[in-house]
Amino acid sequence: MTETSTRKREIGKERSGAAGSGGRGRPRRPPGLPWILPALVLSVGLIYYAIGYTAYISTLNWDGISPDPLHVGGQNYTRIIRDPVFWATVRHTAVFFVVTFVVQTLLGLIFAVLMHARLRLAALYKVIIFIPVVLAPAIMAPVFRHMFAPDGELNSVLQHVGLGALAQPWIGQTSTALPVIMFITIWEWTGVTFVLYFAAMTQIDPSVLEAARMDGASNLRTLLSIIWPEMRGTTIALGILGAIGALKTFDVPYLVTIGGPNYATEFLGTYIYRQTIPLGHVGYGGALSVILLVVALIVAVILQLVGRGREAR
C-alpha cells in the first residue's frame, strides 16, 4: 500500500467523522434546509408539482375548463396505444433524431476540423455557421415557408438551373415535408455541434497529432483514428441533447407545416398541443405528456449508460 493511499483513507475518515451527527464534541452539520428552501419551493412547486398534476389530469376526460372533469383511470393511455397518429409521431421522432444527429455530427465535425486548419477568414466562417443558432425559429419560419412554397425560391432556383423537373411543393406533400423540417433543424443547430467539436479539439494534445504525422498517418487517418475517438464524450453529450431535442420538437414543425400535411410532420410536442388546445382534450394531452416524459427519461438513462460503458472500456 502506498503512502498516498493511506493518506487518502485518513482524510476519508476525518471527513466521515465531521459528517457524522450527534457526536459530543464533534462540529454540528450546519442546517441546510433554510438555504435550499427557495430553490426547493421553486423546483417542487413548479416542476414536480406540474409533473404530478399532469399525471393526475392524464386520468381525466376533461376539456381543461369545465368544473366537472370525468375520471377515466387509464383509458387515455389505452386510447394512445390504439392511436395511429401517436405511433406516427414516434416514427417521425425516431427518423428525425437519427437523420439530424448523424448529419449535424458529420457537418459539425468537418467544419471544426476545417476551422482548425488555419483557413483564411476563419473567424467570418465561424460567425456564418453559428448565426442560425441565434435566430428565433418564429422569425425564420415564414422565410422557410416562402422558400419551400410551390412558387418559392428553391423551385425558382431549380428551374433557372435547368432542374425544373425537380421543382415540387416541398411542404405541401407528405413525402417531402418531414425532410424539409429536418433540413431546417440541421441548418439551425449545426452551429452548436460545430462549436462543441471545435472546443473539444483544442483539448487534444498536439504532440499526439504530431506523432501521428511522424508515423505517416494521412489527414483522414488522423481524423478517424485520433480526433474522432477523442471526441467521444462530446458526441455522447450531443447525442443526449439531440435525443431530448427530438422528443421536444415543436416550434419548427408547428410554425412551418402545423404538423401536416396529413400528420406527416406531427411530433409528440405538436400532437400534445393539437389535442390539448385546439381539440380541448386536456386529459389525453396530459397522458401524452406523461408518456413523453417517461420516454425522455428512458432515452437519457440509456445514453448515459452507453456513455459510461464506453468510458469504462
Q: Rounded to an integer, what distance in angstroms lies between the CA atom of residue 115 and that of residue 128?
A: 12
Q: What is the smallest separation between the CB atom of 75 and other proteins, expressed in angstroms?
A: 12
Is the distance from CB of 267 to CB of 92 less than 8 angstroms?
Answer: yes
Q: What is the smallest separation between the CB atom of 96 and other proteins, expressed in angstroms?
A: 18
Q: Which is nearer to other proteins, 108 or 152 (CB)?
A: 152
Q: What is the smallest separation between the CB atom of 189 and other proteins, expressed in angstroms?
A: 23
Q: Which is nearer to other proteins, 6 or 262 (CB)?
A: 262
Q: Which is nearer to other proteins, 176 or 222 (CB)?
A: 176
Q: Rounded to an integer, what distance in angstroms lies between the CA atom of residue 121 and that of residue 15?
A: 54
Query: Cα-flanking dihedrals φ and ψ of residue 141, to 5°?
Result: -55, -50
Q: Which is nearer to other proteins, 122 or 277 (CB)?
A: 277
Q: List Cα–Cα distances, 87 to 82, 119, 285, in angstroms.
A: 9, 46, 15
Residue type, 284: Y
Residue type, 195: V
Contacts of 193 (CB under 8 A, 6+ apart): 104, 105, 107, 108, 109, 238
CA-closest candidate to residue 168, choices 189, 178, 154: 154
Q: What is the smallest separation between the CB atom of 43 and other proteins, expressed in angstroms?
A: 13
Q: Which is nearer to other proteins, 235 or 257 (CB)?
A: 257
Is the distance from CB of 262 to CB of 37 less than 8 angstroms?
Answer: no
Chain centroid to CA 147:
26
Which residues in this chain contact other proteins in the complex, by CB under 8 A?
A: 31, 33-34, 37, 41, 45, 63-66, 149-151, 168-174, 177, 257-258, 260-264, 277-280
Rounded to 10 degrees, the C-alpha dihedral 286/292/294/298 comes to 180
Q: Which is nearer to other proteins, 83 or 230 (CB)?
A: 83
Q: What is the smallest separation between the CB atom of 18 and other proteins, expressed in angstroms?
A: 20
Q: What is the smallest separation between the CB atom of 163 and other proteins, expressed in angstroms?
A: 16
Which residue, chain included where needed, has cell 408539482? 49
Q: What is the smallest separation between the CB atom of 285 and other proteins, expressed in angstroms?
A: 12
Beta bridge partners of 60: 71
Q: Which is nearer to other proteins, 66 or 304 (CB)?
A: 66
